[in-house]
Amino acid sequence: MAKKNGLDGYCVPFFDDGNKSKFSLASIDPSSKPFSTGSKETDRERLAEIGVLLDAQQERLHAQRVQRVLLVLQGMDTSGKDGTIRAVFHEVDPLGLRIVPFKAPTPIELAHDFLWRVHAQAPAAGELTIFNRSHYEDVLVPYVLGSLDKEERIRRYGHIRDFERMLAESGTTIVKCMLYISKDEQRERLQARIDDPTKHWKFDVSDLDARKLWNKYQVAYEEALAATSTEYAPWYVIPADSKTHRNVMVGELLLRTFESLKLEFPPAKESLKGVIVE
Amino acid sequence: MAKKNGLDGYCVPFFDDGNKSKFSLASIDPSSKPFSTGSKETDRERLAEIGVLLDAQQERLHAQRVQRVLLVLQGMDTSGKDGTIRAVFHEVDPLGLRIVPFKAPTPIELAHDFLWRVHAQAPAAGELTIFNRSHYEDVLVPYVLGSLDKEERIRRYGHIRDFERMLAESGTTIVKCMLYISKDEQRERLQARIDDPTKHWKFDVSDLDARKLWNKYQVAYEEALAATSTEYAPWYVIPADSKTHRNVMVGELLLRTFESLKLEFPPAKESLKGVIVE
C-alpha cells in the first residue's frame, strides 16, 4: 500500500507501481471507523478543530497565491458528498473555497472531449476547489450503462492520468476520495428520504434505477480507482456508513495534505517599511 | 426615498423616479450605526442569528431551484467586502453560495463588451451569488482615470440598467451594496496593514494611488449609484466605518430580501408515497 498521510491502508495502490490487479473494494468495510475515537462527541470536537485548522491553512494558500488544491469527491447516491462539504468545510472562508458540482453533461459539453468542462473548472493559484462528482462520472456511468467498451475505458483512464499529472506538475495538489457506503446503508438513507415528505425534493426516481445497478457500479469503481490512483493524484476510500467518521476522515486527510505543503505567509515587503498613509 | 425592506433611508433614489439629481453620498454618515443596538455584543448575537436564518432561506432557494439571488458588493479599498462575505455568510452552506471576484479585466475580457464576463457569472436557478466587485468597476475606474467621457458613461449606465432589468425579469433578485467608509477610516486601515508585516500580502502599493483619487471616486460613485439604482436592482449605501454595524446591516438587508421572496420547500411527491426501497 502507498505511504502517504498516515492513511496508507485506505489509499488505493498506485497504478504506476504495477499493483492494479490487487485492489479490491471488498477489502474495506464501509461500516468501519478507523479514524474515530470511539466517542461521537469527541469525534465532533476533533472535526470542529480540523475546521479551524483547515481555515488557517487555506488562508496561507490564498495569501501565497502559488499553489492550488483540488479535492475530488465521488460516491454512490446518498454517500454524503454534499454533507461532507457542509461539515468539513464549514469553517473555511467562503472566499477561498470553490465548489463545482458536475451534473449529467449538457449537449454542448457532450460536443467536446470529456475533460473539456473539467479543465475549465480547475483551481487557480491560491484556490481550494472541490469537485462534487467529476470527470470520473464520464467513465463510471457509461461503463455501467454499457456504452463504453474496455478499449475506450482504458484510453480514458490514460487521458485522466495524463491530465491529472499535468495539473500536478503545474502546482496543483490533488486528493481524490470515494465515499464508500454499503448497499444496506443506502437503502436506509433512500427510504428515510421517501418517508419524510419534506425531503422529497432531494429525491429523484432515477436514484432507484442507479441502485438496481449497485453491483455493476462497484465493479466500475474498482476498475476506475485502480487505473487512476497515482502518486500525484491518489485515491482514498473513505468508510462512510458513519457520517461522523466520514467527515473526520476526509478532514484529517485534507489537513495532512495541507500540512505537507508547508505553506507560509509571504514575507513582509521591505518597501512598505515606515510608509505613512496620508 | 424608495420604500423597501425598512432600509428606505439608505436606498439610493430610483433612477426611474426622476430623482437622479437629488442623491448625495454626503447625506449619509459613514460612521453612523443605524442598525446597531448600541451594544457590540448584542449586535454580534444578532449577526449569528441572521447567519442561521440566511442559511435556512438559502436552503429553500436551493430546494426550489426556481429563483436566483445576486448580491453586488462595491466599495473603496479596505471598505470590507471580503470581511462582509466572511462574517455574514459564514453559516450559509458553501454548496449554495458562489462568490465571484472581479479583478482588472484580462486582455481577452477587454476584447469583449464590459458585461460579457459578468453575464457568464450570473446566478443559476437556486443559487445565491455574490459579486465581489462587479461591472461597476468598469465605469468607476475608467471615469476616475479619465478614459471614459460623459457620453460613454451615460451609455454604459443604460446598458447596465437594461442588463439588470433582463436578469430581474428572468427571476433574479438583485441587491447592490456600496460599503461606505470615510477617508479617515481608510487611512487607519491602510496604516494598520503597513504596520503589521504579516499583513503585507494584503497590501498593494496601487492602493495608495487609488487613495490619492479619493474625491474623484466619491464623485464617480455618486453618479453611478444615482444612474443605476432601480426598483428591480436597488443600491443601498451601508455605513461601514464600524465593521460590526456593516455586517449586521448587510445581513438584515439580505434577510429581508429573502423573506420578501416567501420561499417554500417544494411539495411532497405523491408518486413517492408508500415506495419501499429494495
Residue B82 and residue B76 in contact, taking contact as beta carbons nearer than 8 Å: no
Report the percent of chain A where pLDDT is more than 90. 86
- A182 interface with B at CB cutoff 8 Å: no
How far is Cα of residue B172 from the mean position of the Cα atoms in its chain?
14
Could you tell me if the ipTM is greater than 0.95? no
Task: Kindly tell me if the per-residue pLDDT of A2 is higher than 70.
Answer: no
Q: What is the pLDDT of residue B2?
A: 41
Number of Cβ within a 10 Å radius of residue B125: 14
Q: Which residues from chain A sit within 8 angstroms of residue B269, using beta carbons?
A: 200, 203
Cβ-nearest to A194 among B99, B203, B277: B277
Residue A62 contacts residue A96 (beta carbons within 8 Å): yes
Q: Please list, in sequence order, all residues whose beta carbon lies within 8 angstroms of the beta carbon of residue A110, skipping any fewer than 6 positions away.
A: none
Of B94, B211, B269, the CB nearest to A89: B94
- Cβ contact, residue pair A200, B276, below 8 Å: no
List the single best residue of A95, A184, A207, A212 to mutate versus B (max B Cβ within 10 A): A95
Residue A239 pLDDT level (bands cut at 50, 70, 90): very high
Phi, psi of A79, deg, nearest 5: -70, -15
CATH number 3.20.20.150 given to A8-263: no
Cα A234 to Cα A177: distance, rounded to the nearest angstrom: 9
Strands (E), chain B: 68-75, 97-101, 128-132, 172-180, 235-239
Q: What is the pLDDT of residues A21-56, one digit of tens each?
A: 678 899 999 999 999 999 999 999 999 999 999 999
Which residue in chain B is spatially nearest to A200 when comparing CA positions? B268
Per-residue pLDDT of chain B (278 residues; tens, 9 = 90+): 344 567 888 999 998 776 556 788 999 999 999 999 999 999 999 999 999 999 999 999 999 999 999 999 999 999 999 999 999 998 899 988 999 999 999 999 999 999 999 999 999 999 999 999 999 999 999 999 999 999 999 999 999 999 999 999 999 999 999 999 999 999 999 999 999 988 899 888 888 999 999 999 999 999 999 999 999 999 999 999 999 999 999 999 999 999 999 999 999 998 898 899 98
Q: How far apart are the C-alpha atoms of B7 and B237, rounded to whole Å?
A: 10
Domain spanning B8-261: which CATH class is it, in words?
alpha beta
Domain range summary for chain A, segments of one domain joined by +: 8-263
Q: Whose grid coordinates read 426598483? A: B231
Q: What is d(CA B63, CA B44) in angstroms, rounded to the nearest whole number?
A: 29
